[in-house]
Amino acid sequence: MKKTLLSVLLPPALILGAMPARACDICGCGAGSYYIGILPEFNKKIAGIRYRGSVLTTHLGPGGKRTYLTTDEQYHTTELWGGWTIKDKFRIMGYIPVSYNAKSNESATVAKTGLSDASALGFYRLLRSKKTLPGSGESSGKLLVQDLWIGGGIKLPTGRYNPSDKSSTNAGTNLFQLGTGSTDFIFMGMYDIRLQDAGLNITAGYKINTTNKHDYYYGNRFSGSTQLYYKFRFNNKWMVSPNAGFHYERSGKDLDGGYSVRATGGMAAFATLGAEISFSKCTFGGNFQPVLFQDLGSGAVRTGNRSMIHFSLLL
């Protein structure tokens, strides 16, 4: 069965892995942080609340060593989100986040709270396939389900961008913001394939940013994630779906007044470990993302582990 499952899963995974991804930002500000994880199943409407947490260390010296300027930063975002599937072919999703950001170094501790950048996305279901596998092997008679959604959307400058919070030189980061101050465009694909209760979920996308009115431009951002999961069903009421996978993101250099900002851009990769628990119309889930490797901000920035939890209600 393992060989049969791999032969079914791997070709679509390789194809989707090459797709541009909806971008995740390395920081917690309104510049990004679009990692979704495995969405709860819903045929019509869903609404929920989600928390995401991440940490950063910035202004590192040569070799990643701490200096008197080194700053520890925390990003906490709680967002309302919802989705609506229309006639089984179209899906609309929206996100309204509120963030709490804090940073401290040897000289000061600063915090800010407020609305971050809201976003809206629309998707079209390009593929929906359900079939029972023929044959006489282990997989014969098992149900194979595939879903492919493609779409895009817009991120609005609803979060406050404060130019005075930007580094005084073009060598520093500009992450400590509630929003980017720019209108940005998102392109995304989501693919799911499941053989009976064992499945593979792939999400990929790309975000094209624009320059804000303060002449600052956050680099375009790419991300992709892939997760294996299994659905354990109990008494036809409860369902528990543990999942594990890999998440990758890359960001281009920022531009300030048309000049490249040194301590920006780079890449990071994370493992993902999580679970979804469903009962009736309620779904609770979360994941933990330990860092696997990274190369951020020309070595001046280092990210820590991340976490996410959510509660969703089918309407």
Domain boundaries, the chain: 2-39+83-89+116-280+287-299
At 170 the pLDDT is 66
What are the CA-CA distances from residue 207 to residues 77, 130, 168 (Å)? 19, 32, 27
In this structure, which amino acid lies at residue 184? D
Q: What is the pLDDT of residue 291?
A: 96
Which residue has 């009115």 as its token pair?
Answer: 213
The pLDDT of residue 165 is 87
Residue type, position 274, single letter: G
Query: What is the structure's pLDDT at 34?
Result: 53
pLDDT of 16:
33
Beta bridge partners of residue 144, listed in sequence order: 131, 195
pLDDT of res. 137? 67
Of 146, 144, 178, nearest to 163 by C-alpha is: 178
Asked if 98 and 78 count as a contact pair (C-beta separation under 8 A), the reply is yes
CB 193, CB 200: distance < 8 Å: yes
Q: What is the pLDDT of residue 134?
A: 84
In this predicted structure, what is the pLDDT of residue 37? 56
Q: What is the pLDDT of residue 5?
A: 39
Taking the chain (315 residues) in consecutive chunks of 10 residues, what is each chunk's mean pLDDT?
Answer: 40 33 40 54 86 92 90 94 93 95 92 95 95 76 92 95 82 86 95 94 94 96 94 90 95 94 92 93 93 93 94 92
For residue 61, give the nearest of 315, 270, 298, 308 by alpha carbon. Answer: 298
- 3-class DSSP state of 24: coil
Q: What is the pLDDT of residue 235?
A: 87
Would you call 249 exposed, middle or buried from its count of C-beta atoms within 10 A (0-12, 13-18, 19+)? Answer: buried
Q: Which residues pair with 98 in a beta bridge?
A: 78, 115
Question: Of 34, 77, 58, 96, whose CA–CA distance to 249 is shortest?
Answer: 34
Q: Which residue has the tokens 């070595």?
A: 299
Per DSSP, the residues of 143-176 read EEEEEEEEEEEEE---S---GGGS-SSTTS----
